[in-house]
Amino acid sequence: MMAPSYRIPNLLSGTAGPSYNSKLMGTAKTDVARRVRQALTRMANRQALGSEVSDQTTSDDLARAARGYLGDAQILIASNREPYQHVQTPSGIEVVRSPGGLASALDSVARATGATWIAQGAADADRLVCDEEGRVRVPPGNERYTLKRLWLEPETRALEYRRFCNGCLWPLCHIVYVRPHFVAPRWRAYQEVNEQFAEAILSSLGARPGLVLLQDYHLGLCASALRARRPDLSIVMFWHIPWPNREVFRTFPWRRELLEGLLACDLVGFHIQYHATNFLDTVAQELESHIDHERFAIRRRGRKTFVRTYPISPDAAEISLAASEPWAARGAEQVREQLRLGDAQVVLGVDRLDYTKGIPERIAAYEHLLENHPELRGRVAFIQIAVPSRVDLPEYQSLAVTVEELTARLNRRFGSADRPAIHLITRNLGFRDLIPYYVLADVAVVSALHDGMNLVAKEYVAAKVQLDGALVLSPFTGAARELDQAIQASPYDTEALAAAIGRALTLDPAERARRMRAMREVVAGQNIYDWARKILRDARRLHLVSGAPRPGASR
Ligand code: ADQ
């Protein structure tokens, strides 16, 4: 195991982004002075933001709750993707935070609870920093929990497993007119990988009591494998993506096996009631079981699985505080200068480059808007940040080409050399690199065709401390259930989406502030720590955790 010099790449040099290069971290007095200044700024911001921030559940609250609910039971988080990747660069090993909602949300939970996180190691320097059991402490420079990496055969990982999860389950659950590929060898690879995850979880746990938090559709069979060897384990699955209706699910050849896998869990969580209801309906159609509609539970072969909703949210306080620090405003100005935006109004999209996110639909709507409102040309700039995703799948390759072509066409029609109508940024940005874009944007457009929740919508709201932004939101996101003060428009309706963007750009400032204030209340009222605390609380209330203090025992 080799000691890397850690550095998280930062787009906006000079901002206070986290830097873990050991050469830079150190003893210098200026460093201490800088930290003191930062702490004082944060205190001032905390006071300025008042109850919006101080009433929120914190990482410490979650840590206390976890101890109280779980006693000496160990928490294990398992997900396909790792929260941090170690990559080789000419200047040494760098640590990159994985993009995507699950990784960013669960990282906060793992930090607070000190859970062990099991995920597959996929980056080129991942092995170099781990011990012989695949373990490494993270995050670098502020180690709070253990990441245990699982090494899968490249062929299983690259071809079968990814293709099954992302080429079959993903389109099956999202229902966005992309046909799922049902290929038997890929299904077998999925089974095999789930077995391997179960092995890794069990070896990490030893004989201790434990609560296993399985994350997402990659691990749909893991609970059966765990249950066979450790019937006493408490197992929770959180399904981060939509659950389809039973008609669509009927087309899936291995539907019974997948449902059996999920029913080996004690608790299955979804973001919204609609998906939870779809799940109950599907079980009722496919398996002989007793559905308890009163308690929202399923009984099958003597065991009970509860189904609950836990709408996920980011760490809103963290985002609000970051957005109100001077570096965020400076970063926003830098972006304005670098992209030569002048005094243009800014429309922003931030997504993984995924066909479910409605990026071509968004660009088409913006084009429609500029076509019909010449007065907006040159006075509005669209920034689309789209991090490449699943690049080995043909659907994603053709999406990338489509987005580039639409961007080029739009710029040919309505942009000029020094004022493009749309800026396409295809990079993965760190948390602190993203914040200035949120601060800068007058309008954020989230136009997903279907989305379990969509964290970008909530992150934008959390960053709009000055109430100076408007959100255009697709009704097909889980977030639309909570953020009803967003301007909602269907991404399938180009004219309606164009009109919504136009309306957001011209919203009266008082109305814009009123809507944003209402949405900020929603986002502040529920953050990632509440999400995790409620799951742990239910695991205890429903008597799922062995080794935990009995309900009513002092905490
Ligand atoms: P995702 O489909 O990945 O998540 P989303 O919820 O929007 O979608 O989360 C994306 C996350 O990645 C956000 O935290 C965002 O800041 C970050 N991100 C996006 N583009 C980025 C970029 N270019 N650089 C850096 N970071 C970027 C899945 C489900 C969602 C569900 C989440 C959480 O599909 O429906 O909300 O899990 O459960």
Find, among 208, 271, 221, 252, the residue nearest to 80 by Cα: 221
User: What's this model's pTM, rounded to 2 decimal places?
Assistant: 0.91
- pLDDT digits 0-9 by tens, 45-55: 666 676 666 67
Could you tell me where the DSSP H helices lie in 268-325? Answer: 273-286, 316-323
Count of residues making up the chain: 555
Q: Is the CB of 160 under 6 A from ligand 1?
A: no
Query: CA-CA distance, 335 to 325, in Å (whole number)?
Result: 16
Helices (H), 386-430: 394-414
- Architecture of the 59-151+192-313+526-547 domain: 3-Layer(aba) Sandwich (3.40)
pLDDT single digits (tens) 420-477: 999 999 988 888 899 999 999 999 999 999 999 999 999 999 999 999 999 999 999 9
Q: From CA 411, how far away is CA 255, in angstroms rounded?
A: 46
- The answer to whether residue 3 scores a pLDDT higher than 60 is no
Q: Which atom of ligand 1 is nearest to the CA of 478?
A: 35
312 close to ligand 1 (CB < 6 Angstrom): yes
* CATH number corresponding to 318-524: 3.40.50.2000
Q: CB of 8 closer than 6 A to ligand 1?
A: no
Nearest residue to 293 via CA among 305, 304, 309, 280? 280
Residues 488-502: pLDDT tens digits? 999 999 999 999 999
- Please indicate whether residue 528, judged by its CB atom, sits closer than 6 Å to ligand 1: no
Residues 6+ apart with CB under 8 A from 144: 110, 111, 114, 137, 138
Find out whether the beta carbon of 291 lies less than 6 Å from any atom of ligand 1.
Answer: no
Read off the tokens for 396.
């994603």
The residue ranking higher by pLDDT, 423 or 34, is: 423
**pLDDT tens-digit series, residues 265-317:** 999 999 999 999 999 999 999 999 999 999 999 999 999 999 999 999 999 99
Q: Which helix (H) or strand (E) holds 267?
A: strand 267-270
| Distance from residue 101's CA to the centre of ligand 1 (Å) | 3
Instruction: State which ligand 1 atom lies nearest to the alpha carbon of 452.
Output: 35
pLDDT of residue 555 exceeding 50: no
Mean pLDDT of 238-262: 98
369 pLDDT tier (thresholds 50, 70, 90): very high
Please report the atom of ligand 1 found closest to the CA of residue 427. Answer: 23
Q: What is the per-residue pLDDT for 28?
A: 52
Higher pLDDT, 254 or 17: 254
Pocket flag, ligand 1, residue 348 (CB < 6 Å): no
Ligand 1 center to 99 CA (angstroms): 7
pLDDT for 44 equals 66
* 115-173 tens-digit pLDDT: 999 999 989 999 999 999 999 999 988 999 999 999 999 888 876 778 999 999 999 99
Dist. CA 319–CA 334, nearest whole Å: 19
> In this model, does residue 547 exceed pLDDT 60?
no
**pLDDT beyond 80 at 224:** yes
Confidence of residue 16 (pLDDT cuts 50, 70, 90): very low
- pLDDT greater at residue 40 or residue 106: 106
pLDDT at 117: 98
Centre of ligand 1 from the C-alpha of residue 102, in Å: 7
pLDDT score at 140: 87
Per the prediction, the chain carries an average pLDDT of 90
pLDDT of residue 179: 95
In the chain, where the domains are located: 59-151+192-313+526-547, 318-524
Nearest-angstrom CA–CA distance, 401 and 398 = 5
- Is any ligand 1 atom within 6 A of the Cβ of residue 109? no
Q: What is the mean pLDDT of residues 240-263?
A: 98
Whether the per-residue pLDDT at 354 is higher than 80: the answer is yes
From CA 322, how far away is CA 463, in angstroms rounded? 8
311 Cα: distance to centroid of ligand 1 (angstroms): 14
pLDDT at 63 over 90: yes
Fold agreement (59-151+192-313+526-547, 318-524):
yes
Is the CB of 320 within 6 Å of ligand 1? no
Q: What percent of the chain has pLDDT over 70?
A: 88
Stretch 358-378: mean pLDDT:
97
Q: What is the pLDDT of residue 80?
A: 94
Instruction: Report d(CA 384, CA 407) in Å as an integer.
Output: 10
Residue 99: its pLDDT value, please?
76
| Burial bucket for residue 555 (CB in 10 Å: 0-12, 13-18, 19+) | exposed
> Is 19's pLDDT higher than 50?
no
For residue 114, how far is its CA from the centre of ligand 1 (angstroms)? Answer: 23
pLDDT of residue 61: 94
Res 53: pLDDT: 66
Query: Does residue 371 carry a pLDDT above 60?
Result: yes
Give the 3-state secondary structure of 39-60. Answer: HHHHHHHHHHHCHHHHCCCCHH
Per-residue pLDDT at 425: 97
If pLDDT is split at 50, 70 and 90, which confidence band does 105 have? Answer: confident
* pLDDT of amino acid 251: 98
Identify the pLDDT of residue 31.
Answer: 67
Q: Is 429 in the pocket of ligand 1 (CB under 6 A)?
A: yes
72 pLDDT band, cuts 50/70/90, is: confident
Q: Atom 15 of ligand 1 has which residue's CA nearest to it?
A: 456
Amino acid at 154: P
Residue 161: the pLDDT is 77
CB 95 within 8 A of CB 140: yes
Atom 17 of ligand 1 has which residue's CA nearest to it? 100
The model's pLDDT over 484-534, given as tens digits with 9 standing for 90+, comes to 999 999 999 999 999 999 999 999 999 999 999 999 999 998 899 999 999
Q: What is the pLDDT of residue 22?
A: 31
Tell me, rounded to whole angstroms, the distance of Cα 461 from its chain centroid: 15
Q: What pLDDT was estimated at residue 220?
A: 98
